[in-house]
Amino acid sequence: MELNNSIGITSPGDMGQGVAMCIKALGFDVCMASDGRSPRTRGLGEKAGLTDCHSLEKLVQTCDMVLSVLDPGAAVTNARAVAAACKATGRKIVFVDCNAVAPQTMNEINDIMTAVGCTVVDAGIIGPPPRNSAKQRFYVSGPNANLMNRINCPQINVRVAGEKIGDASAVKMCYAALTKGSIALGTELLIAARKLGVDQTLEAEFKGSQAELHESVLTRSAGMAFKAYRWVPEMNEIAKTFEGVGMTPRILQGAADLYAQIATTPQGKESPEEARAKKRSGTEVIQGLADTI
């Protein structure tokens, strides 16, 4: 399948902007559709030098391949909007869903896009936004997963996870269950310890017997609060994944509940720029959350 030199990103937010910048550095014309997006998202796209098509209709007319990178809670809605744009324009694109969704959700997205004649690639992103020296893995799956090799580069390592739509999403779900799920557990127990007045005693015990694990929780909690609202639907997607194979969804539903609580706090309502400027340590994040939840 021959594709043109234009690649679309439906939402250049924190992750989407980083991905877009790497793709642009490979020589592609990277486009976005700013209609309906927040001023911050539009600003991130402009800062990255993306071509603004404004509407999804114009985006699918311009690009043979479009990547969906956004809040997983909006993944299906976004797929429907792109499918509607394809139907209205008669375009049949390659649609790459890069969101943290359950295999069941990914199959729903596949059905939506193939119904209008589009080709679908399932992609699961592991790693931080690929800015500066940061690197990430793009796990891809489906009959046309090899189409993603065109964006393989030192910062975006494309890895084929399987032949089926849903395989890449399954890898992402199981991985995020460990990383973000364990952050939820660690954050909750440290908040509880502070509320119970035993945080200093517990910290001393952790430093004596679980120093590496304790430090890991604090380090990963430091940049968590302002992302919590996006992690709520991701935890629910993991719960859906596990329930689909006969396992309990309740562990990750509990993590979703915690992140929903955190999202309502002053820290949870900060923009990424505001949070990063304050450079809080993990301990400061935990203390602030304990005092506001």
The CATH number for 281's domain is: 1.10.1040.10
- Domain-located, residue 89: yes
Beta partners for residue 139, in sequence order: 124, 159
Pair 233, 260: CB distance under 8 Å: no
Q: Say whether pLDDT at 86 is over 90.
A: yes
Share of the chain above pLDDT 90, in %: 95
132 versus 56: the higher-pLDDT residue is: 56
What pLDDT band is residue 87 in, cutting at 50, 70 and 90?
very high
- Rounded to the nearest 5°, which phi and psi values hold at 182? -75, -30
* Residues 8-19: tens digit of each pLDDT: 999 898 899 999
Q: Say whether pLDDT at 133 is over 90.
A: no
Same domain, 128 and 238: no
- Domain-located, residue 154: yes
Which of 144, 165, 186 corresponds to the end of one domain? 165
- Own/partner contacts of 77-81, CB < 8 Å, gap of 24 or more, are 78/10, 78/11, 79/109, 79/112, 79/113, 80/112, 81/56
CA distances from 180 to 20, 35, 46 (A): 24, 31, 30
* Residues 232-286: tens digit of each pLDDT: 999 999 999 999 999 999 999 999 999 999 999 999 999 999 999 999 999 999 9
Share of the chain above pLDDT 70, in %: 100
- Domain-located, residue 1: no
Q: Say whether pLDDT at 170 is over 90.
A: yes
Give the residue-averaged pLDDT of 89-94. Answer: 98
Looking at 120-227, list the stretches that DSSP marks H as alpha helix, in order from N- to C-terminal side.
Answer: 167-196, 199-209, 211-221
Q: What angle do CA 97, 99, 105 make, to 5 degrees?
A: 80
Same domain, 48 and 108: yes
Same domain, 95 and 52: yes
Provide the residue count of the chain.
293
* Residues 202-227: tens digit of each pLDDT: 999 999 999 999 999 999 999 999 99
177-199 CB burial, b ≥16 within 10 A, e <16? beebbebbebbbebbebbeeeeb
Give the residue-averaged pLDDT of 141-152. Answer: 97
What pLDDT score does 134 carry?
A: 86
The CATH number for 107's domain is: 3.40.50.720
Which of 131, 165, 199 corresponds to the end of one domain? 165
Q: Say whether pLDDT at 56 is over 90.
A: yes
Cα 49 to Cα 30: distance, rounded to the nearest angstrom:
8
Neighbours of 42 (CB within 10 A): 17
How many domains are there within the chain?
Answer: 2
| Helix H or strand E encompassing 211 | helix 211-221
What pLDDT band is residue 184 in, cutting at 50, 70 and 90?
very high
What pLDDT band is residue 130 in, cutting at 50, 70 and 90?
confident
Range of the domain at 145: 6-165
149 versus 132: the higher-pLDDT residue is: 149
Beta partners for residue 68, in sequence order: 97
Which of 149, 165, 181 corresponds to the end of one domain? 165
Same domain, 79 and 125: yes
Same domain, 268 and 149: no
What pLDDT band is residue 1 in, cutting at 50, 70 and 90?
confident
**What single-letter DSSP state applies at residue 39?**
H
What pLDDT band is residue 132 in, cutting at 50, 70 and 90?
confident
- Domain-located, residue 105: yes
What pLDDT score does 199 carry?
A: 97
Strands (E), the chain: 6-9, 29-32, 51-52, 65-68, 94-97, 119-126, 136-141, 156-162
Same domain, 131 and 62: yes
- Domain-located, residue 253: yes
What pLDDT band is residue 111 in, cutting at 50, 70 and 90?
very high
Average pLDDT score, the chain: 96
What pLDDT band is residue 131 in, cutting at 50, 70 and 90?
confident
Q: Say whether pLDDT at 196 is over 90.
A: yes
| Helix H or strand E encompassing 251 | helix 250-263
